[in-house]
Structure 1
Amino acid sequence: MVSTHVQTKLSKLMSKILRHAPLKFGLLLDSVDGSCEVADLLQVIRGQSGWSELSLPDLEEVVERCEKQRFEIIGGRIRARYGHSHDKVSYPADVPPMVLYHGTNAQAALMILEQGLRPMQRQYVHLSEGLHFATLAGKRRGELVILNIDTVKASRAGIKFYYAGNEVWLADAVPAEFCSILSIERESGRSE
């Protein structure tokens, strides 16, 4: 079992490799689902300074324990679930829960309520089924604002939602009329 500090470092390295720069590390990902053989990723990581002793169980532990569930292993292949900055990974359209949530900050919330949710430097807008992941995403941006996304109305208007696993949903964009403020958490931790 690796320490929490090592898990965090490994998770960041895996994100860099699988989400942002696979070719820089000599790793070719499947063009459809963004996956590669777990053994190939392990070999690439072992080639990085300080990781030569990394074991398969250590890597699997990071996949399992990652709080945001950024990775998944299926049939000996691993991929980042979302957030890729290379080839767009596709997901089948699916029917989401009636409401999804998006965590952000006060300044961005004002812009979202005017212009809608856009993916910015990501491939998709990230939404969550519950408040836990929305809070995790939004807290790192300052004053936390949780937005409700009315998926019923959005779906009727033709917006497609894609399930990425572990309560995370994706959309290409969500127009402002389907977004509203659920709560605001001031820096003191007080909610409104």
Structure 2
Amino acid sequence: MVSNATEVSLSKFMTKLLRHTPEQYGLILDPEDGSCTVDDLLSVLVKAPRWSEVTVRDIRQVVTSCEKQRFEIEGDRIKARYGHSHTRIAYEPGNPPPTLYHGTYAGVLSAILEEGLQSMGRQYVHLSEGTHFASLAGSRRGNLILLTVDTISAGQMGVTFYYAGNEVWLADPIPSSCLNVYTPL
């Protein structure tokens, strides 16, 4: 089993492979859902000198332990749940709860409140059902700001929402009129 620090590093490399540059490493992802077999992922991983000793068990540990729940294994296939930048992955439209959360940082708040939420180089805007995942995403770059998204208003304005699993929702760009700064009670 890999150590915690090694697990984080492996998770980052798996993210690169499954979300951003699979073709750079010769990994072919299913164009419909962005998945590949666990064995295909393993064969790419072990070609990298640092990961030559990685096992399927290590991959499964990363999937299970990843706090942000980035990955999903179904049968013999693995995929990143969200965050793709290489090709647009198809998700089924869904009906989100009335309020979703988005984590960001203070340095971009004024731009978001003016322009709305944009996908910023990814395929979709990332949202969550609770503040925990939104806080994890937003605290990476500075002072955390949590926004609430009025999904009913956004839906009426033509925004489509997609459920990515484990409390994570994806959406088309969201108008600023559907956003508020979250202030806990």
Q: Same fold (TM over 0.5)?
A: yes
> Following the alignment from structure 1 to structure 2, what is the Cα–Cα distance between the partners of residues 127 and 51?
32
Match of 1:79 in 2: 79
Cα offsets for 1:38-83 (capped at 9, x unmatched)? 1000011011112122111111010110010111011211111111
Q: What is the CA distance between 1:151 and its match in structure 2?
A: 0.5
Q: What is the CA distance between 1:135 and its match in structure 2?
A: 0.6
How much identity, in percent, do the aligned residues show?
55
Q: How many residues align?
A: 185
* 2:125 is the counterpart of 1:117: no
Match of 2:100 in 1: 100
> Following the alignment from structure 2 to structure 1, what is the Cα–Cα distance between the partners of residues 176 and 11?
33
Output the amino acid matched with 2:17: I
Match of 2:153 in 1: 153
> Following the alignment from structure 1 to structure 2, what is the Cα–Cα distance between the partners of residues 96 and 16?
28
Output the amino acid matched with 1:78: I
Q: What is the CA distance between 1:156 and its match in structure 2?
A: 2.0
Match of 2:56 in 1: 56
Cα offsets for 1:97-125 (capped at 9, x unmatched)? 11000111122111111110000111110
* TM-score normalized by the length of structure 1: 0.93
> Following the alignment from structure 2 to structure 1, what is the Cα–Cα distance between the partners of residues 104 and 51?
34
The 4+ residue runs of structure 1 with deviation greater than 6 A are none
* TM-score normalized by the length of structure 2: 0.96
Q: Which runs of 5+ in 2 are unaligned?
A: none
Output the amino acid matched with 2:96: P
> Following the alignment from structure 1 to structure 2, what is the Cα–Cα distance between the partners of residues 142 and 54?
33
Cα offsets for 1:124-152 (capped at 9, x unmatched)? 10001000011111111211111010011
> For 2:49, what is the secondary structure of its paired residue?
coil
> How large is the RMSD of aligned CA atoms in angstroms?
1.3
Q: What is the CA distance between 1:157 and its match in structure 2?
A: 2.1
Match of 2:133 in 1: 133
Q: Which runs of 5+ in 1 are unaligned?
A: 184-190
Output the amino acid matched with 1:151: T
